[in-house]
Amino acid sequence: MTNRLSAVVGFLALTGIGCQRTPHLIEYDEESNRRARDAPLVVVGVVDGDTRVGGTVPARRDPKYPMQLHRARLRIENLLRGSIAERSIFIYYFGFAGAIDGPRPVGFGRDPSRSVVWLREEQGVYRTACDGWDGCTIPVYSGAHPQYAVDSRRPLDYALVDLLLTRGAGEINDVQFASEILRGVPDHGIQDYVISKLRHLAETESGDVKSSACSQLWIYTQDSIGDTLNHTAMEAVRSANCRCHTNPTNWPLCE
């Protein structure tokens, strides 16, 4: 009996089951949400097991609207900012519990999904750096990047571009990867770096992924980013043999 009990306790310790307390968290205010990308910890990982914790609570902006605390497991693959010893943690966030109409809300669902996540530590637990509308995660459909090491001398946006615009390991859905490319990446002040990444994709990929990379390159040829960058993008379009035309709404359609 003692051996069986020890085995159960050991299993619970390994899985974290039975060790989770419910923290007394409060939904972020608007200023905290606005500064979500300043959070001290940024990781890439696979999130699963998103579950509701307790009942709904009144929203800070509208006490008549319900918010729901969630807890999910995050298996960390890459550390982009800050320091953390654990490689599997639980994270918390407040999600909308009523009807919504607007941009993407924060949330993960039960199925495993890979994301960049901005985190804060509070009351001994980790929570996403935003609640409600999602300003603190970026879905990653380019696969896993187990060998990637962030260059701490560069701004974080370089790492985001590297991860989002580089085909990684494991099973990758090319339609989702292509959609990720079309959504764009943070490029303020580093458009030349983004163009080089898109050029590599356009030259080495095919199908939907190549089409999306070509479309983004074509947009850079038209944007007001300076003649030098426009020329760099045009050279990339030619080098990758991108064949683009625009539809009636001036959105590029490329092959």
Domains and CATH numbers, the chain: 16-139 (2.40.50), 143-255 (no CATH)
Confidence of residue 8 (pLDDT cuts 50, 70, 90): very low
pLDDT computed for residue 19 by the predictor: 52
**99, two tokens:** 């009807």
Name which of 48, 49, 53 is nearest 70 in CA terms.
53
pLDDT computed for residue 17 by the predictor: 44
pLDDT computed for residue 191 by the predictor: 97
Which pTM does this prediction carry?
Answer: 0.88
pLDDT computed for residue 20 by the predictor: 58
- DSSP letters for the chain: -HHHHHHHHHHHHHH-TT-----------HHHHHTGGG-SEEEEEEEEEEEE-SS-EE-SS-TTSEEEEEEEEEEEEEEEES----SEEEEEEEEE-S---SSPBS---SS-EEEEEEEEEETTEEEES--SB--SEEE--S-B-TT----TTS-HHHHHHHHHTS--BS---HHHHHHHHHH----TT-HHHHHHHHHHHHHH--HHHHHHHHHHHHHHHHSSS-HHHHHHHHHHHHHTT--EEE-TT--EEE-
Confidence of residue 36 (pLDDT cuts 50, 70, 90): very high
pLDDT digits (tens, 9 = 90+) for 87-132: 999 999 999 999 998 899 999 987 899 999 999 999 999 999 999 9
pLDDT higher than 80, residue 158: yes
Instruction: Please provide the average confidence, as pLDDT, over all residues in the chain.
Output: 91
pLDDT higher than 90, residue 228: yes
Average pLDDT over residues 235-247: 90
